[in-house]
Structure 1
């Protein structure tokens, strides 16, 4: 009889990748209860609500929210639990106006990094830390043109790499902002 244990099973790159994806999916959807998170964790809908509160916005793009949540969770397996803890603490403190967040953060220094990760993902459009021209880093893409950092000047600033005009349109300065 052949030994079919995992220790003798030879897998190629695709096999290992497939097993990894299957395992992450099983944990994420709770298919493997023994591998699921031992503590409560925030879900995508609650993450969107928390993001709206942290960015002080009535609406945010749900697809970008799902990407941010997935990227932050992939970066740190304890992130969903930390985000839930942050949301619960903000609710308990009655924090509804982000102008009061500084006081909240001072009283809850262990929760501030989680809040900053969420806010950074929305404004910068990525999670993690890019390493410049390195071949590898832990940065994960969330959004480009949808990053909130472009909103304050979107009426006059071109999102990098997106041209509003024809090739070499920048050669001649605009007659005015109104005609640009």
Structure 2
């Protein structure tokens, strides 16, 4: 009796002959997911690179303009939102950065009093300050579901920081019912 080796003919995986193996499919899927995560987790790198500014420089400028300690993530979200609203913003921001660096201002009040702080420089600074205080960049259109507004933050908006010791940020209140009926005599716990 002869030993006969039976071989299977490979199954045709697709009609076109361009079938992808399960291993290749999984590696491509994982690469796509990881790449997408990195792009979403660190979007500030691409925006900062466009403007030739480090994220720390953006934070330094936003902190100087508001005279407040602005976190790195918040500063970069504001920068990204302003860039989405106005494609010329990165160049204007660099111009503002160069102006601040060349004059070495010690305070924002000194900047406001400088005779050359007008026009585009002042508008750029006001846009940055507005985005951080309001929590969005752009101009909302009344009674419209579409406008050019880009979200920056809600709970970290500087507007709410002014009264945070006495009132909670507008939302579902964490204080007891009727907390607003009497003038606060102590700081809020919220």
For the residues of structure 2 that align with 1:175 and 1:42, how far apart are their CA atoms? 46
| 1:48 corresponds to which of 59, 68, 75 | 59
Structure 2 unmatched runs, 5+: 1-35, 40-44
TM-aligned CA deviation for residue 91 of structure 1: 1.6
For the residues of structure 2 that align with 1:163 and 1:128, how far apart are their CA atoms? 28
| 2:137 corresponds to which of 127, 131, 138 | 127
Deviations, residues 25-72 of structure 1 (Å, cap 9, x unaligned) = 8xx849xxxxx96xx643432111110111112x21222112111111
Larger Rg: 2
**Range 92-101 or range 45-54, more displaced:** 92-101
TM-aligned CA deviation for residue 151 of structure 1: 1.5
1:1-180 alignment to 2 at 5 Å? 29=46, 41-57=52-68, 59-104=69-114, 106-165=116-175, 169-170=177-178, 173-174=181-182, 177-178=185-186
Deviations, residues 133-162 of structure 1 (Å, cap 9, x unaligned) = 311111111011100111121111221114
Structure 1 unmatched runs, 5+: 1-21, 31-35
Equivalent pairs, count: 145
TM-aligned CA deviation for residue 176 of structure 1: 5.2
Normalising by the residue count of structure 2, what TM-score does the alignment of the two structures yield? 0.65
Normalising by the residue count of structure 1, what TM-score does the alignment of the two structures yield? 0.68
SS at match of 2:132: helix
